[in-house]
Structures are given as C-alpha cells and as structure tokens.
C-alpha cells in the first residue's frame, strides 16, 4: 500500500476521500458479525443476510430490484390459469418446471463448477469492473444498483471484497431459479389434483393418503428449516464457493445433518412424494422422481467434489486411508473379495462357481422346471433356513471358541487366509438364498399364476419396491466403504483389529444400518409381488437379520470393544432426543453421558487423535520423516527433564535425516538421572511406538523381557538377541521410576529396517552369499559355527521357542533378500544349513527371473 504525501485538492480526490470515509464508517458499523476470508487471503466482516423466503415475502424487509423482478415472475405463473383446458395447463406447468429444474441443476451447477475450479464468476466481475464505482457501463451500473438496493443506500461497495459482492448478485439468480422451480411444481400438483378430483371421495383411504402426504410435507419442511438454522445463509447459498468463514473450516454434523447424509438432497425431497400421494397422480410422482434424480446428479458432480476440495482430508490422510484399505486386502489374497456379484473375477474359481450357482438357481431351474411353484418355494425356505442356521452357528462357535480359526490352523491354513475362506463361504450362501428368492418369483411369473394379496397401486408398488432394493444395495456399498471388506465379512470374529468401532460414513448416522436396510430389498420384492410365499420369505429374512445382529454380532462386539463403545448413541438417536425429549430426561437416559464425563479432560482429544493416527501406521511400510517421528514420540514434552536417554549407535538416513538401525543390530543405550532421586529399581525398556497404548506418561504394556535395571544414576546397556525386536517399525526406549511404570523420559524415536542382501545371479557366488547371510543375519540371532552347521541342531539347544525362532529367521531373510520364504523351509528339512538356505534362495530367484520378462522387448527378439 502506498502512502500519499502530497496534498491535492482536486474534486476527484475529495470524492475518493469521502468514499473512503464512508467505507470506514460502514465497516465499523458491521464489525460484530462473523469474519470471512477470501481465497486470496483478504479478511472482512460478513454482514447479516436473510433467507430466501424472508427476503422475498417479508414486507418489513426492503426489496431489491431483482427481488421485485423475481416476485413478478412468480406472480406471472398465474397467467397460465387463464388457459381454459386443465390438460393444457398441466403441460405448460410441466414444461416450466422442467425448464427451471434444468436451470437449477445444470445452470447453477455449471456456474458453481466454474467458480469452484476457476474462480470464474469473480473473474468475470473483475474483468468487467462491475463493482468499480468509476465504471459507467450499463452492466456495472445495473449490478451496483442491485447491490445497493439490497444492502441500503449507505452501503459502500468498496468496503467489502469483490467475492462477497459477487455472491450477493449470485444469490438473486438462485432465488429466481429455486423459487420458480418450487412454485411451478406446486402448480403441477394443483392442476393434477384438479384432474383427479374424483379421487377425493369420502373414504378412509383418501384420509390416510392425505395424512401421510401432509406428514411427509411437514417432515420435509422441518428438514429444510433445521438445515437452514444449522448451516445459515452462508452454506445455503453456496458461500464457500466464493469465500470461507473463519472458524468454520470443518463440515457441520449437527441437527438434521447428524441424522442422514446430505439431508438437503436426500430426505429434503420426501415432501415431493407427499404431494404426489395427496394428488394421487403418477404425473406428479414422475416429475418428483425426475427432480430428485437431477438433484442427486448435482450433488455427485458439483457439491461433493467441492466439499472434498474444501473440507476433505489432506493428501497425507488420503494416502493413509489408501494404505489401510490396501492392508485390509491382505486377508483376501490381495484382491477385493466377491460381494454378491460385485468384484467378479473370471480367474478366481470361487467366483466362477458362484456365477454357476446364481444362474442355475435364479434362471435355469425356474425355466426348465416342470414342477410346482410350491416346491420351489420349499427349496427357497429350506435354503434360507440352512444359510441362517449354518452362518449363525459358525459365528457363535467362532466368537466363543475360535472354532473356525482352530480348524484352519490344524489343516495348515494360515490365519490370514481363514478370513478369505470364510468370506467365500459366507458370500456363496448369501448368493444361494437370493438367487433362490429370485428364481422362485421368476417361476411364479413363468407359470402364469396371479395369486397375489392385492392388485391396487401397481406402479406405485413397483416404484417403492425398486426404491427399497436400491436402498439395500446402497447401504451395503456404504457399509463396505465405511468399514471395508474386513468389517463386512465379520473380520473381527477371526482376526484382531482396532480397539475402536468406526463412527464414520453411514455409521455416523446409524449404529446398525443393516438392521432394517440390510434386508429392505426383500421387503421391496414383497411390495412389488405381494404373494404369501414372498411374505413368508420376508419374515424369514427380517427375523434372521434381527437375531444375527442383536444376539450374535452385538454380543461379540460388547466383549471385544466394550459396552461404552458399542452403545453410543447414533446421530439419529441424538437428534431424536434433542428435539423430542427434555434435557433433564436426556441426561438420565443418554448412553453418551459417561463418555462426556470421560472426555472432559482437555488433553484427551489430542490423545485420541494420536491414537487413531498410530493405529493406521501400525504394521505399515510407510517411510517416516524425522519431523514425523518426533511428532509420533512426542519427545518434546521431556525436553527439560533431568533424565536423559541417548542411543549413540544409530545410523542416519541421508534421504530423510531419520535415525535407524538394521534388524538384529545391538542397541546401546546410555542413561542419565539425578543422583539425589535415583532408585536402584529404576529401569529402562524397549518398546514399539504403535504398541505402547499411546500413553506418554505411563507405560501400560509389558516389556516382554526387553528391559534392564538402572543400578547406578549414570550407565549404559546394550540390547542384544532376545532383548531385541525382530520386525520392522518405529521404536523408542523409556526410562521408568522405582520399579513402576511411570515414565520419566522417552528417547528419540528410531526405525528398525531390514538389512539388504542381494541374491547372486551366478552360482559361483553362493559361498560368499551364504557367508554374508551368516554374518548379517544368523549370527545376530544365535551363535553358529559355520555355513555348513545344521541350523536345527543349534536352534533346538537354545532356551527359546524353536517355531518362533524359525518364523523370525524366515521374516528377516525374506526382507533382506526380497525373496519370500516361510518357516517351513527350516522345518521340512532336518539338517538344513545356511549354505542350503542360500541355495534355495538362489533357486527361487532364478525361477522368478525365468518367469519374468521385459514388456518393452518383443517376443521374437
């Protein structure tokens, strides 16, 4: 900013000075509102604005030029009623509704997309100098007069950023399109209701239809009002496309936003279906579906990308999520498992067998069968009963006695593969039941039977039934997206996982979304084709789902995660209590009350965030920077301590400046403590950071023998062999006081990395390779004389678990040579030597090299 030092008394400068003074006065008069910041970094106080309905229809509020135009356009719809033919009026109003709906979802949508990606609307305003008071063009005067007519004569355009002024003008276009869209829809409803006047006879079905319809409309109204009260005008008019509000950097999950995802676009349109129900018009239903469908497209392609851009996770968090999802696939042979018919792969035998199963039961048998439809119904019921009994029994046995895991281990099947075997079994039985249900109804149709419980409202039944089927599909996809395939296939019954339940995605709103929505598709089948057989199947599906969730899954969850974790109120429950139950009663019955008391500690939120971050890193192969390691250990909290721990033998990675040692290398630790307070019972222990339960002031995990006493105030100790960790990860040393677990100091973190040894490509180099394996790996695990000494003869003489020792050796050798071997290499050959191991590694490497080829080289070369 330049400073004017020369006095100039020209009229232009006097006018600029006056405008500047007015700007200052306007800013000072509006300094109490929320603060905003543009994407270029300019901060300002956001003036008060009003919602659409109040702005247009409240007579006490001044109307701007465009607002008068909007009211005129809305009133102009009444001219259509001058057309004598009601059918013609319906056609005209439908055409107007389609125009305004397309203007909304594609017109406003395109403008918002351009603004989000290219700041287009603000750029147009800058390029056209629309808010420059010196610009005398027609467009500039028109826009400036509109803004002043909105904000009042005392409003100084230059007092606020151009982004805010552009948003003010954009709001009026939104008002025009949205209000016209709603008014023309209401006109369609009215004209269609007039056309169906004979459907309003004095019967109980009419009253029921009207009551249900108005209930949906009132619920829709509550959703809109609650949503506006929660997010205010700023988000209602897409303000975050133009500027950000300070201290409003996170998405809001409160009120109706805690009940359902994207309530403005999901349940925010149920009123449209209420109007269709009252009018008893399939025309209204069709345009309601049309409008709702376009709105979901708008959400998917316009809103969600911008939400992810502004509020979404950082790149590091996204990479971390990807790592977690990829790690989950290791339980399914590193490929997404088959869910229903999703993730089908022709190269997996189980997938092909499932395809044959589905086609046979769902299509072939119904077409070729000459037998009675009743026999197919018996087959479907029998299939469902078998699936329910088998899966429920297996889950109970697995939960209480680990029956399935023990069976896999006894048959030499790794634990990691047990979940994949279970997933194949579970999905195959589920496919069998649903294909039988489909086949039963197909047989019913092919045999031409028309025995249904009721015939009325066929098209409405088809719509509702298909909606329920789509809902079940969407819920299953949302569950997988939230808890992964691991959670979908009851992974925590088979493999230990996180100690905290997921409260993200669909689980933010419902604790058990599959309780009802997991089988609502079967209800949809009954609604479409209401036969006695379908209602029996529907009852079977619902009953089995209820029993499995409430008496098997929930019981297991309580034992694994604890009552407080499992019984937390869902978003729907919290909103229900907040609006319908008095506060005093809420506090008495709320399941979250102990949680609120427990979280009163201001430091607990940081600890929980740290805990979740560490869990995602556990067992991962992520390379950590020095700064990240310091953040993980929180070593800065001991910077002024009288106690010290130093590790002089650590190496420094030149690429990341982080400290590390290789697996099996002895770790020397020097300690210092004040002599006045030192106790001979003080001790140090070696720990993996991701396993210390994330308490920095007290160690809650056993050291598993990796510790030593600190007999003197100053001293040193070297961790070797059985006192070392034999796996890759990030570690630390802790100093504990007086034989307890109170932590006085935590060392700097360091990484344990695998040694790298190249497998030779020439057989003549095997002796040197074997010697390197001996010095770099085997000598660090136990003392062995030569590369020709039997490994088993040495291992069996040690006071240690031989199988565990072989597992350690197989892992270290595999990591060092980048050639995977299992512990069976040492078990299957009694007198195996280091030379034999080297030869086996050489052979595996040769085979892999023979099977591999360079894609850039043509076969004929």
Tokens of 699: 């160690």
User: What is the Cα gyration radius of the chain?
Assistant: 35
C-alpha–C-alpha distance, residues 683 and 699, integer Å = 12
Please compute, for residue 606, the number of CA atoms within 13 A of its CA located in the half-sphere on the CB side: 8
Tokens of 582: 């008095």
Residue 32: pLDDT band with limits 50, 70, 90: low
C-alpha–C-alpha distance, residues 801 and 712, integer Å = 33
Q: Which segment of 250-264, 337-351, 651-665 scores lowest on mean pLDDT?
A: 250-264
Task: Render pLDDT for 492-518 as a digit per residue (tens, 0 to 9).
Answer: 887 766 556 666 666 666 677 787 788
C-alpha–C-alpha distance, residues 640 and 814, integer Å = 42
Geometric angle at alpha carbon 436, from 433 and 437, rounded to 5° = 85
Q: Which of 163-167, 406-410, 562-566 ranks highest by mean pLDDT?
A: 163-167
Instruction: Check residue 461 and report its DSSP letter.
Output: H
Q: Are 366 and 443 in contact (CB under 8 A)?
A: yes
Task: Render pLDDT for 236-279 as a digit per residue (tens, 0 to 9).
Answer: 888 889 988 876 666 666 667 777 778 888 888 899 999 998 98
pLDDT surpasses 70 at 141:
yes
Residue ranges of domains in the chain: 33-311, 315-578, 626-753, 763-851
- CA quadruple 733, 739, 742, 745: dihedral sign: negative
Torsion of CA 23, 27, 30, 35, to 10 degrees: 140
Could you write out the DSSP letters of every residue in 165-213?
Answer: HHHHHHHHHHHHHHHHHHHHHHHHHHHHHHHTGGG--SSHHHHHHHHHH
Unique residue bearing structure tokens 């195996």: 832
Q: What is the pLDDT of residue 259?
A: 72
CA distances from 626 to 619, 620, 652, 727, 747 (A): 18, 17, 10, 20, 14
Q: What is the pLDDT of residue 693?
A: 55
Task: Render pLDDT for 696-745 as a digit per residue (tens, 0 to 9).
Answer: 788 888 888 899 999 899 999 999 888 888 888 889 999 999 898 888 89
Q: Kindly state the helix (H) or strand (E) to which residue 614 belongs, with its residue range.
A: helix 604-617
Q: Are 670 and 716 in contact (CB under 8 A)?
A: yes
pLDDT surpasses 60 at 470:
yes
Q: What is the pLDDT of residue 298?
A: 92
Q: What is the pLDDT of residue 178?
A: 93
Going by C-alpha positions, the residue among 219, 231, 313, 199 that lies closest to residue 266 is 219
Those residues with Cβ within 8 angstroms of residue 760's Cβ, 6 or more apart along the chain or in another chain = 766, 768, 769, 842
Unique residue bearing structure tokens 């086609």: 359
Q: What is the pLDDT of residue 177?
A: 94
Going by C-alpha positions, the residue among 582, 523, 516 that lies closest to residue 549 is 516
Task: Render pLDDT for 608-640 as a digit per residue (tens, 0 to 9).
Answer: 444 444 444 444 444 444 445 445 454 556 767
Residues 24-50 have a mean pLDDT of: 73
pLDDT surpasses 60 at 545:
yes
C-alpha–C-alpha distance, residues 768 and 749, integer Å = 35
φ, ψ dihedrals at 708, nearest 5°: -155, 155
Residues 267-293 have a mean pLDDT of: 90
Those residues with Cβ within 8 angstroms of residue 515's Cβ, 6 or more apart along the chain or in another chain = 545, 546, 549
Q: What is the pLDDT of residue 716?
A: 94
Residues 148-161 have a mean pLDDT of: 84
Q: What is the pLDDT of residue 10?
A: 42
For 489-553, where are the alpha helices, taking DSSP H only? Answer: 520-528, 532-547
Q: What is the pLDDT of residue 74?
A: 92
pLDDT surpasses 90 at 428:
yes
Task: Render pLDDT for 813-855 as a digit per residue (tens, 0 to 9).
Answer: 888 888 777 777 777 677 889 898 888 888 777 765 654 434 3
CATH among 2.60.40.2840, 3.30.1050.10, 2.102.10.10, 1.10.150.120 for 626-753? 2.60.40.2840
Helix (H, G, I), strand (E, B) or coil at 343: coil
Tokens of 223: 């959703």
Residue 586: pLDDT band with limits 50, 70, 90: low
pTM confidence score? 0.59
**Tally of CB atoms within 10 A around 111:** 19
Helix (H, G, I), strand (E, B) or coil at 571: helix
Q: What is the pLDDT of residue 852?
A: 41
Q: What is the pLDDT of residue 432?
A: 93
Q: What is the pLDDT of residue 517?
A: 82
* Helices then strands, each counted (H, E), the chain: 34, 13
φ, ψ dihedrals at 731, nearest 5°: -130, 170
Quote the mean pLDDT of the chain.
Answer: 80
Checking DSSP bridges between strand 659-662 and strand 651-652, what pairing results, if any? antiparallel
Checking DSSP bridges between strand 659-662 and strand 750-753, what pairing results, if any? parallel
CA distances from 554 to 465, 615, 760 (A): 29, 23, 54
Buried/exposed code over 388-426 (b: 16+ C-beta within 10 A; e: otherwise)? beebbebbbebbeeeebbeebeeeeeeeeebbbebbbbb
Residues 473-496 have a mean pLDDT of: 82
């Amino acid at each position: 900013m330049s400073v004017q030092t020369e006095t100039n008394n020209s009229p232009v400068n006097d006018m600029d000075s006056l405008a500047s003074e007015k700007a200052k006065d306007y800013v000072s008069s509006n300094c109490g509102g929320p603060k905003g910041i543009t994407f270029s970094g300019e901060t300002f106080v956001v003036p008060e604005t009003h919602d659409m309905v109040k702005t247009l229809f409240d007579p006490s509020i001044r109307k701007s030029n465009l607002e008068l135009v909007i009211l005129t356009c809305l009133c102009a719809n009444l001219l259509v009623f001058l057309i004598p033919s009601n059918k013609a009026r319906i056609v005209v109003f439908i055409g107007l509704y389609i125009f305004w709906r397309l203007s909304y979802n594609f017109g406003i949508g395109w403008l918002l997309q351009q603004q989000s990606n290219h700041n287009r609307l603000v750029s147009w305003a800058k390029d056209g100098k629309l808010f420059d008071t010196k610009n005398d063009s027609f467009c500039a005067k028109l826009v400036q007069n509109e803004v002043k007519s909105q904000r009042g004569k005392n409003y100084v355009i230059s007092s606020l950023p151009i982004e805010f002024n552009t948003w003010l003008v954009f709001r009026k276009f939104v008002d025009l399109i949205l209000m016209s869209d709603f008014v023309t829809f209401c006109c369609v409803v009215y004209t269609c209701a007039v056309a169906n006047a004979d459907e309003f006879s004095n019967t109980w079905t009419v009253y029921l239809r009207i009551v249900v319809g108005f209930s949906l409309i009132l619920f829709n109204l509550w959703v809109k009002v609650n949503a506006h009260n929660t997010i205010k005008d700023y988000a209602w008019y897409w303000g975050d496309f133009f500027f950000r509000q300070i201290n409003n950097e996170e998405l809001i999950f409160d009120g109706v936003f805690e009940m359902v995802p994207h309530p403005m676009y999901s349940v925010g349109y149920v009123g449209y279906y209420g109007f269709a129900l009252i009018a008893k018009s399939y025309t209204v239903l069709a345009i309601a579906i049309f409008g709702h469908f376009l709105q979901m497209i708008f959400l998917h392609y316009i809103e969600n990308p911008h939400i992810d851009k502004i509020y979404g996770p950082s790149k590091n968090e996204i990479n971390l999520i990807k790592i977690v999802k990829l790690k989950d696939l290791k339980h399914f042979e590193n490929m997404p498992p088959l869910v229903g018919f999703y993730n089908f792969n022709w190269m997996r035998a189980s997938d092909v067998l499932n395809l044959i199963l589905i086609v046979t039961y769902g299509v072939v048998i119904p077409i070729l069968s000459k037998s009675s439809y009743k026999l197919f119904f018996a087959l479907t019921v029998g299939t469902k009963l078998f699936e329910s009994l088998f899966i429920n029994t297996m889950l109970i046995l697995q939960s209480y006695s680990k029956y399935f895991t023990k069976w896999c281990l006894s048959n030499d099947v790794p634990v990691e593969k047990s979940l994949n075997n279970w997933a194949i079994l579970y999905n195959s039985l589920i496919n069998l039941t649903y294909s039988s249900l489909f086949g039963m109804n197909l047989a019913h149709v092919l045999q031409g039977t028309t025995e249904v419980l009721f015939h009325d409202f066929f098209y409405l039944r088809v719509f509702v039934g298909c909606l329920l089927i789509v809902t079940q599909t969407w819920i299953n996809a949302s569950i997988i997206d939230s808890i992964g395939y691991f959670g979908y296939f009851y992974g925590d019954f088979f493999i230990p996982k996180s100690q905290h339940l997921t409260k993200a995605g669909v689980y933010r709103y419902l604790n058990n979304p599959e309780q009802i929505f997991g089988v609502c598709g079967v209800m949809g089948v009954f609604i479409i084709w209401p036969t006695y057989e379908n209602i029996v199947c529907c009852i079977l599906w619902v009953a089995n789902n209820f029993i499995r969730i409430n008496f098997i899954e929930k019981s297991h969850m309580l034992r694994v995660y604890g009552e407080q974790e499992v019984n937390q109120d869902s978003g729907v429950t919290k909103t229900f209590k907040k609006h319908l139950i008095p506060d005093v009663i809420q506090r008495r019955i709320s399941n979250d009350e102990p949680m609120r008391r427990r979280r009163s500690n201001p430091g607990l939120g940081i600890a929980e965030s740290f805990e979740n971050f560490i869990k995602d890193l556990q067992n991962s192969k992520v390379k950590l920077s020095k700064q990240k390691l310091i953040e993980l250990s929180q070593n800065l909290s001991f910077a002024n301590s009288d106690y010290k721990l130093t590790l002089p033998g650590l190496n420094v990675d030149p690429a990341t400046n982080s400290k590390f040692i290789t697996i099996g290398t002895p770790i020397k630790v020097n300690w210092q403590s004040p002599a006045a307070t030192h106790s001979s019972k003080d001790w140090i222990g070696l720990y993996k950071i991701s396993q210390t339960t994330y308490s920095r002031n007290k160690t809650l995990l056993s050291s598993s023998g990796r510790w030593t006493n600190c007999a003197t105030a100053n001293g040193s100790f070297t961790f070797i062999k059985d006192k070392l960790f034999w796996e890759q990860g990030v570690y630390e040393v802790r100093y504990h006081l007086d034989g307890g677990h109170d932590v006085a100091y935590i060392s700097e973190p360091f990484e344990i990395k695998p040694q790298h040894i190249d497998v030779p490509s020439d057989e003549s180099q095997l002796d040197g390779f074997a010697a390197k394996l001996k010095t770099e790996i085997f000598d660090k695990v136990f003392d062995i004389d030569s590369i020709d000494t039997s490994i088993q003869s040495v291992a069996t003489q040690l006071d240690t678990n031989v199988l565990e020792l072989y597992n350690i050796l197989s892992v270290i050798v595999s990591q060092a040579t980048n050639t995977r071997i299992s512990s069976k290499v040492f078990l299957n050959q009694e007198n195996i030597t280091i030379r034999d191991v080297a030869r086996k590694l050489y052979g595996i490497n040769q085979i892999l090299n023979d099977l591999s080829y360079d894609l850039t080289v043509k076969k004929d070369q």
